[in-house]
């Protein structure tokens, strides 16, 4: 079983020199932090997002560190736009080695108040954006028979929660699509690697610009981690893509394993606790700015507004090994309980037999 890896930006070393890495959603949050991290590892970075000005800011940050970046403004919901972006990066940076799908939008709202158009938009960006990015990458990776695709997922890819139905559904869909792709690559004996990184709550601008109908500003459910923790995990996954998936943080593992074991309990637990936990205590807050259909200027940064609650030191867990460890631990626990109960019953049966013998002798 693989050792669980605790990533540290001061000690982790990755070498992506002379490699081309493309990142969607690269103008803010996890995508922007990931672009910086790949650049520090020596990669030439292709940046995709809707807002060209913010992409230029990210590019300037990377070039200030002496690294190379190229931007391509595109909405990931547009499949042709991502094909064009991939071709532009191939011409400007060189053959694409790694493609990271990270772009997303969401709506915080009860299902009863969602519109069909909002659900479609979240699906077009958060799910189909990954499909479009993956297909654009494969157009160039397949002829060369090499490359790595990293899908940035979430604990919510395994467990739906209230108020984020469209986002949870999209993340579930990404996992299904990626599993199908992985099977096909294995069938073809293709060396192209695909891996997933499932994240916990991350302190990004998502909570400042997501559309919301929850009576206040959206809030991440603790524990909350900084985007740089996610970026380290994504770079680690790209460097070690043969691991099927990674879970960042104990909370992610708890959600995934808990949903495997006690989904009905989680239904009730989340119904009681996850509603209020996703709304910051800001009575009368008017959440009027959102980036659902257009880029929201002035909020493109790496970190969001929850820095005081955010922390570092997230544990990165290999999904297969962690799942296997949980199963083994469960079997050992069950066996232990079985032996204990068996011993107790045997003791009681022995005592009953002894008493019967004594009664007969009397």
Assessment of whether the complete model's pTM goes beyond 0.85: yes
103 and 125 Cβ atoms separated by less than 8 Å: yes
Instruction: Express as a percent the part of the chain with pLDDT over 90.
Output: 73
Average confidence (pLDDT) over 163-170: 98
pLDDT at 3: 37
Element (H, E) at 69: strand 69-73
pLDDT at 348: 57
pLDDT at 14: 87
pLDDT at 65: 85
Highest mean pLDDT among 4-13, 192-201, 352-361: 192-201
pLDDT at 331: 43
Give the integer Cα–Cα distance in Å for 331 and 337.
10
pLDDT at 339: 47
Instruction: Express as a percent the part of the chain with pLDDT over 70.
Output: 83
Tens-place pLDDT, residues 273-318: 999 999 876 544 455 679 999 987 778 898 998 988 888 888 999 8
- 211 bridge partner residues: 107
Map out the domains of the chain with their CATH numbers. 5-361 (3.40.50.720)
Q: Please name which of 126, 10, 129, 16 lies closest in space to residue 62, comparing C-alpha atoms.
A: 16
Tens-place pLDDT, residues 333-362: 444 444 454 555 555 555 555 565 556 655
Between 337 and 15, the higher pLDDT residue:
15
Out of 14-28, 206-220, 234-248, least confident range: 206-220
* pLDDT above 60 for 179: yes
* pLDDT above 60 for 8: no
pLDDT at 216: 84
- SS3 of residue 203 by DSSP: coil
Between the CA of residue 216 and those of 34, 75, 122, 294, 302, what are the distances in Å? 29, 28, 20, 21, 22
pLDDT at 237: 97
Q: Which residues contact 300 (CB under 8 A, 6 or more apart)?
A: 27, 28, 32, 51, 54, 57, 205
Question: Residue for token digits 């090499």?
Answer: 146
**Per-residue pLDDT band at 12 (split at 50, 70, 90):** low
- SS3 of residue 114 by DSSP: coil
pLDDT at 132: 98
pLDDT at 336: 45
Annotated active-site residue in 108, 167, 246, 293: 167
Angle at 319 between CA 316 and CA 321, to 5 degrees: 100
pLDDT at 299: 80
Between 362 and 329, the higher pLDDT residue:
362
Tens-place pLDDT, residues 65-119: 899 999 999 999 999 999 999 999 999 999 999 999 999 999 999 999 999 999 9
Q: Is 108 a catalytic residue?
A: no
Out of 182-196, 230-244, 288-302, least confident range: 288-302
Arithmetic mean of pLDDT over the chain? 87
291, two tokens? 């980036």
């Amino acid at each position: 079983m693989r050792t669980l890896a605790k990533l540290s930006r001061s000690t982790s070393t990755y070498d992506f020199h002379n490699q081309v890495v493309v990142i969607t959603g690269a103008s803010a949050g996890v995508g922007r932090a990931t672009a910086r991290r790949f650049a520090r590892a020596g990669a030439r970075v292709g940046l995709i997002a809707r807002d060209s000005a913010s992409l230029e800011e990210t590019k300037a940050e990377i070039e200030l560190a002496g690294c190379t970046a190229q931007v391509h403004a595109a909405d990931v919901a547009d499949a042709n736009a991502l094909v064009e972006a991939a071709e532009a990066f191939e011409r400007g940076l060189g053959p694409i080695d790694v493609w990271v799908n990270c772009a997303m939008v969401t709506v915080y709202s009860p299902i009863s108040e969602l519109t069909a158009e909002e659900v479609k938009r979240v699906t077009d960006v958060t799910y189909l954006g990954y499909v479009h990015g993956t297909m654009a990458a494969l157009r160039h990776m397949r002829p060369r028979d090499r490359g790595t695709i990293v899908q940035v997922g979430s604990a919510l890819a395994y467990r739906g929660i209230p108020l984020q139905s469209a986002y949870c559904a999209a993340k579930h869909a990404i996992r299904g699509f990626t599993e199908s792709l992985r099977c096909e690559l294995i069938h073809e004996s293709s060396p192209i690697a695909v891996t997933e990184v499932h994240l916990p709550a991350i302190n990004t601008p998502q909570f400042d610009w997501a559309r919301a109908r929850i009576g206040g500003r959206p809030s991440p459910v603790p524990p909350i981690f900084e985007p740089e923790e996610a970026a380290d995990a994504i770079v680690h996954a790209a460097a070690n893509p043969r691991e099927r998936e990674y879970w960042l943080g104990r909370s992610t593992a708890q959600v995934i394993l808990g949903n495997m074991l006690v989904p009905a309990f989680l239904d009730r637990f989340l119904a009681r606790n996850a509603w209020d936990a996703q709304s910051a205590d800001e009575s009368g807050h008017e959440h009027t700015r959102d980036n659902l259909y257009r880029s929201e200027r002035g909020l493109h940064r790496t970190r969001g507004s929850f820095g005081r609650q955010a922390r570092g030191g997230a544990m990165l867990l290999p999904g297969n090994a962690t799942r296997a460890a949980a199963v083994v631990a469960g079997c050992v626990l069950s066996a232990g309980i079985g032996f204990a109960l068996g011993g107790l019953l045997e003791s009681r049966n022995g005592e009953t037999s002894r008493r019967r013998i004594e009664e007969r002798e009397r």
